[in-house]
Chains A and B, each alone.
Chain A
Amino acid sequence: MTFTGIPLWATLALAAGATAAIALLHLLRVRPRELRVVTTLFWAHAAERTRARTLLERFRHPLTFALLLAFCLLLVLALARPEWTKEPQRRVYEVIIVDAGLSMGARDRPGGEPLFDAARAEAIAEANRLSSQDRLAVVVTDPHPRLVHRFEDPPPMLRQQLSGLEPADVPAATGDALRLAGSLLHGRQNPHVVLITDRPGDQVAPPAGARSFDLTVVDLGRALDNAAILSALFEPDDKNPLRGRFAVRAGYWGESPREMTLQVARGGGAPLLTETRVMSPGETSDYDVADLPCDGDELVVTLSPNDALEADSRGVFHVPLRAPIRVGVEGSVPEVLRIAMEADRAVTIAGDVGDGDVDVVVGRARPASGRPAIIISDDGPEVSAGQPITVAGKSPLLAGLDLTDATCGSGASLGALDGDARPLLTAGDEVVAAISTDGALARVYLSSALTAADADIGWRPAFAILVARALRSLAGWDDDPLVLAPQRVVEDPLWARRQDHGGPVVGMPGSRRASDLSRAGVTDVEAVAPGSGRWAGPPLYATVLILALGLFLLEAVLHARGRIS
């Protein structure tokens, strides 16, 4: 323990002085004269409310002496502002790798907790075992390694950071995770890696090239022999969007290869597909039913033989009742915008301008096709990179979007708007996004400063949601977009809500960020990441101070209640 407020010698001197003063007061306390009387019967009543009126009188009670002495000593200690001594030589840098691959989603019974929950609990328990001086980072492989907790993050954040994660649909890249851990621990003291997985320890080894560290494998034990329907996807046909392909992905994990049969049938009707394959442990397999009409019909998917885990062996899905939004593009669409559009699986990029329902036009103010369009414009004055973006108007497109600290990249603004166009977003005085509803011809204008590769906003989920909403609005859809990870997507955007399969965290393809759409106004977990000033427990001196005040209060209460008189 070190003292940052006053030096140790001064602390000891103060403590000695306080002790001497309190002891002196105790020695000088009023000592009552003893007197034998015929009875104390009436004096007991008389003394009932005879309380000490001064602090000196209180010292006649030894408990007061003890409490006030402890109070003074703790006060001196708090003034010295003690801190637990950091011992850099003994500090451990540890990386916990949480396997979030396919097999970690296994459940041992319907409605039971998946293995990943046990892994999450084990990670938190391992973090709690570390001392306060140790540093911890957590990597989750879902399926690719991803750093969710950094060495600098406060430990209490870990639980929240792990809470929204879900296992992936494919086996985890554990080797890559170990390589990432090695790079994180490079140059650190006492490097240690804990791998929490369902794989046996002898199957896990640091890949060649990984840096040296101590590796501990926490084997959670394998799940029961299990197979599961992992996802279902309806992909519209490029030529005829009213028909499409229904793709089902099934996974298997167990001890040995096994024959699995997947059947897809219309609700109450004949099977559309019955296919049997031999699947190896950890393998996923895709099944397709081609040329299905978008008629909103019910499709029942069954995986057999039934492994007694019916929760994930039978699924009911609905084919969408309408065509997807087909987008025709002209010019070189910025990568940021393309990723944002592809994130919404209700959108297909059909081809050239005029081929789709909505056009995306780059660099031309007036598209010739006469369809609703997103126009990427650079007609206005230049905007410097890093300029903060602010919301300029009210629009359903902006509802609930978190644009806190969002900045634009280097590019041009929109300049002067057309007569009926309304600004959506601005950077400084310049408009960078706007919307125009000129009769039936709707337009959304995005400036090149907004879609530049160095634009911070372009990599936020809020931007993908804004683009998805814009496309749906332009296509005449009236529902709210839902951005889904590609592994979990099915064409109907409402499917995810009905199936309750995923959880609140959804990802954007190509982005390492994630958003929690269940919390209003939060679209980025990094908004609550380290350095956000979260309370992580009071410092030691505050605890000591609180304890001292508590003792003082205790003495006062005991005195008021007559326990000390």
Chain B
Amino acid sequence: MARLFSEDFIRAIERLRLVARQAPPGGLHAEHRSHDLGCGMEFRDFRAYVPGDDVRRMDWNLYRRSGRLFLRLFEAPEDLPVHILLDVSDSMFFEAPPRADAARQMAAVIAAVALNQHDRVGIYPFGIDLVTPLAPASGKPALPRMLQYLEQLRPAGTTDLIHSTRRFATRRQRAGLAVIISDFFDPRGIDQVIDALRSLRHRLLLIRVVRPRDASPDLEGELRLLDCESDRSVDVSVTGDSLTRYRQAYQAFEEALSRFAARRRALHVTIDADRPVLEQLGSVFVGGVLMT
């Protein structure tokens, strides 16, 4: 784990926090607010006593003042299942440094933060299909195993987000936070990608791994461009006009993804694959906290 995840890297991510607006019910005790009002420490409300309630939670001072029986309600913090869907398709390993490095470091960041907060974390790499996932685990001791797992991931073919998300949905995971780390370059187009994301029944965090030349390619002349995943070729004369049309298509792609994220109230962040991930955490974790 020397190259991708150094000691400095691990130390740097320990101070970060992941805050969910609301944890789904039915989980273990952890640090996230939940709908369950039970035996926690943080007072939330009163409610009128009904026969059968626990008499130990009655507020006798209030009874003395009002003459009526009330119960004190406390918030019961629960854990947040975090499912990291990590794109390990061929395009993520194309070019140097590969986008997969930044993507895996970002996955490690998310995993480490969640484990620190006693959340359960599962990693689901995908390419043309789901790669053998790392079973969900919680607690800080699970982190080294996750980092080792991330380190050994290899290219897994063409991106097929639709099939992969469908396979992920069949695993019947408890609703939680689905973190999709990808370049979202599915050959079927952005509309198919959005359909795939829409089918996920989790709160979404979209982390897009980009490069500056994605938006402004520095190409010129008569080119036969070969897709690194599908080997599909496109003959193009790179001129001002064609570059303009390329940028328009790329912008439309970005806007479609952003619009979808906004409608789903999902967080959509971008990571530059050419820059160290640690330098970019400041813009992702505002004040050290990532609100999802």
Contact = CB atoms under 8 A, between A and B. Distances in A.
Interface of A: 30-50, 57, 60, 565
B187 A39 contact: yes
30 contacts: A30-B222, A31-B222, A33-B222, A35-B219, A35-B225, A36-B226, A36-B228, A38-B91, A38-B94, A38-B183, A38-B185, A38-B228, A39-B91, A39-B229, A40-B225, A40-B226, A40-B232, A42-B246, A42-B249, A42-B250, A43-B236, A45-B246, A46-B236, A46-B242, A46-B243, A46-B249, A47-B236, A48-B245, A50-B239, A57-B237
A154 B235 CA distance: 55
Contacts of B236: 32, 43, 46-47, 50
A41 B94 contact: no
Contacts, number: 91
Interface of B is mostly: mixed
B189 interface: yes
A39 B185 contact: yes
A514 B111 CA distance: 106
A31 B222 CA distance: 7
B243 A39 contact: no
Interface of A is mostly: mixed
B45 interface: no
A560 B114 CA distance: 57
B237 A34 contact: no
Contacts of A32: 222-224, 235-236
Nearest to A37: B225
Contacts of B233: 34, 40
A17 to B, nearest CB: 29
Contacts of A34: 223-224, 226, 233
A37 B225 CA distance: 6
Interface in B125-167: none
Given A49-B241, A50-B242, 5 more contacts: A33-B223, A37-B227, A40-B227, A43-B246, A47-B234
A50 B221 CA distance: 12
A38 B223 contact: no
Nearest to A29: B222
A36 B243 CA distance: 17
Nearest to A48: B245
B242 A37 contact: no
A44 B234 contact: yes
Contact of A37 (B222, B226, B237, B249): B226
B237 A35 contact: no
B54 interface: no
B253 interface: yes
Nearest to B159: A39
Contact of A46 (B211, B224, B230, B246): B246
B181 to A, nearest CB: 16
Nearest to A34: B224
A57 B237 CA distance: 10
B214 interface: yes
B222 A41 contact: no
B185 A41 contact: yes
A43 B225 contact: yes
For A37, A47, A60, the residue with the greatest tally of chain B CB atoms inside 10 Å of its CB is: A37
Nearest to A52: B237
B95 interface: yes
A40 B214 CA distance: 11
Contacts of B222: 30-33
Contacts of B229: 39
A60 to B, nearest CB: 8
Contacts of A565: 235
Contacts of B234: 40, 43-44, 47
A48 B224 CA distance: 14
B106 to A, nearest CB: 18
Nearest to A33: B223
Given A32-B235, A35-B219, A50-B242, A42 B226 contact: no
B235 A46 contact: no
For B94, B230, B235, B237, the residue with the greatest tally of chain A CB atoms inside 10 Å of its CB is: B237
